[in-house]
Amino acid sequence: MSFSNWYILFGLFIPASMLVWIWLRQSGRVALPQDHGVARKGRFYSFVINLITCAGPMILAMAIVILAGPRHLSVPKAKRELTNIEFCLDLSGSMMANFGSETRYEVAMNSINEFVEMREGDAFGMTVFGDNANHWIPLTTDASAFRCAKPFLNPRRLPPGYGGGTMIGKGLRKCQETLITRETGDRMIILVSDGASFDLRNGEEEEIARSLREDNIVVYSIHIGGGMSPPEVSTVTNITGGASFSPDNQQALQDVFRRIDQMQVAEMKQSYAEVLDWFKPFSIAGLVFIGFSMIGLLGLRYTPW
């Protein structure tokens, strides 16, 4: 234990002197006339009174210790390294096609929510795209933002400008804008789409991929439109160090997210001991002495006559 204002501890000389005076004083004796009797010395009562009287100096002592700023070192703990994960979700009209018992959009959102719950402690954001790309959920550790987003992002309910085409390139660049603002933690994009991109051609996919790699952003692609992932998307994932997946049913899609979780394992970092304020034990002790003092005011006190 240490003190931020250690010189204040010299003030403990005052309550210490008061305690010495309480136990060594000779005053306070009362002479009472008694006929044909022997008065007891009252040592027990004297001890109890002195003990209660000590509450005042002890309260002062606790106040001085608290003013001195007691501190102690915390126990070093392993902290989870944050991973910044941006979902890049396709909201084109084709996402309303059936994918098992639900639509592609509904299955994708359900799997995203399960993945967010699985990766508790990471920061998640969401960018949606169609003809244009827009940030929908900022990077946050609050999983409720994703649970609440499902009914609002339904492609059938979106205004013009969201659905239509499949501009994956715009979506990836929009995700990059968000991730580069995070100075700490890993950066990852999970692309969920069901079609080929109209803006990842003529070498554009390689340019975007190299830009993402320079910013240490890994891209994983999940193609849920049937068949293999478009080659231009696979180029992006390969250059950035990610992978492409093409699940053909709901269970396979859930397995893909679990595999991504295993591939991008959260790292643990050992933290250093921190200097923390340590007022609690002295505050509790002060309250206990105040309680003793209140009991003394009910009758157990020194009466100077």
Separation CA 205–CA 240 (nearest Å): 11
Separation CA 4–CA 26 (nearest Å): 40
What is the pLDDT confidence band of residue 201, given thresholds at 50, 70 and 90?
confident
What confidence score (pLDDT) does residue 278 get?
A: 85
Domains of the chain: 2-75+273-297 (no CATH), 79-269 (3.40.50.410)
Give the residue carrying structure tokens 């394992």: 265
Q: What is the pTM of this model?
A: 0.62
What is the pLDDT confidence band of residue 250, given thresholds at 50, 70 and 90?
confident
For 139-168, b/e burial (b = at least 16 CB within 10 A) is beeeeebbeebeeebbbeebeeebbebbbb
Phi and psi for 206 in degrees, rounded to 5?
A: -70, -40
Helix, coil or strand: residue 98: strand
Calculate the average pLDDT of the chain: 83
What confidence score (pLDDT) does residue 305 get?
A: 44
What confidence score (pLDDT) does residue 196 get?
A: 81
* Strand (E) or helix (H) holding 24: helix 13-24
Separation CA 237–CA 228 (nearest Å): 14
Express each pLDDT in 141-168 by its tens digit. Answer: 887 888 888 888 888 777 665 666 788 9
Q: In what order do the strands lie in the sheet with 123-129?
A: 133-140, 123-129, 83-90, 186-193, 217-223, 243-245
Burial class (CB in 10 A: 0-12, 13-18, 19+), 11: middle
Separation CA 176–CA 108 (nearest Å): 21
In the 8-state DSSP scheme, what is residue 273?
P
Phi and psi for 120 in degrees, rounded to 5?
A: -55, 130
Q: How far is CA 41 from CA 38, 44, 52, 233, in A?
A: 9, 9, 19, 98
Asked whether the predicted pLDDT for residue 246 surpasses 50, the reply is yes
Asked whether 142 and 125 are in contact (CB, 8 A), the reply is no
Lowest mean pLDDT: which of 80-84, 211-215, 220-224, 288-292? 80-84
Side-chain-facing half-sphere of 80: CA atoms under 13 Å:
10
Separation CA 192–CA 286 (nearest Å): 60
Asked whether 266 and 81 are in contact (CB, 8 A), the reply is yes
The fraction of the chain above a pLDDT of 90, given in percent, is: 29
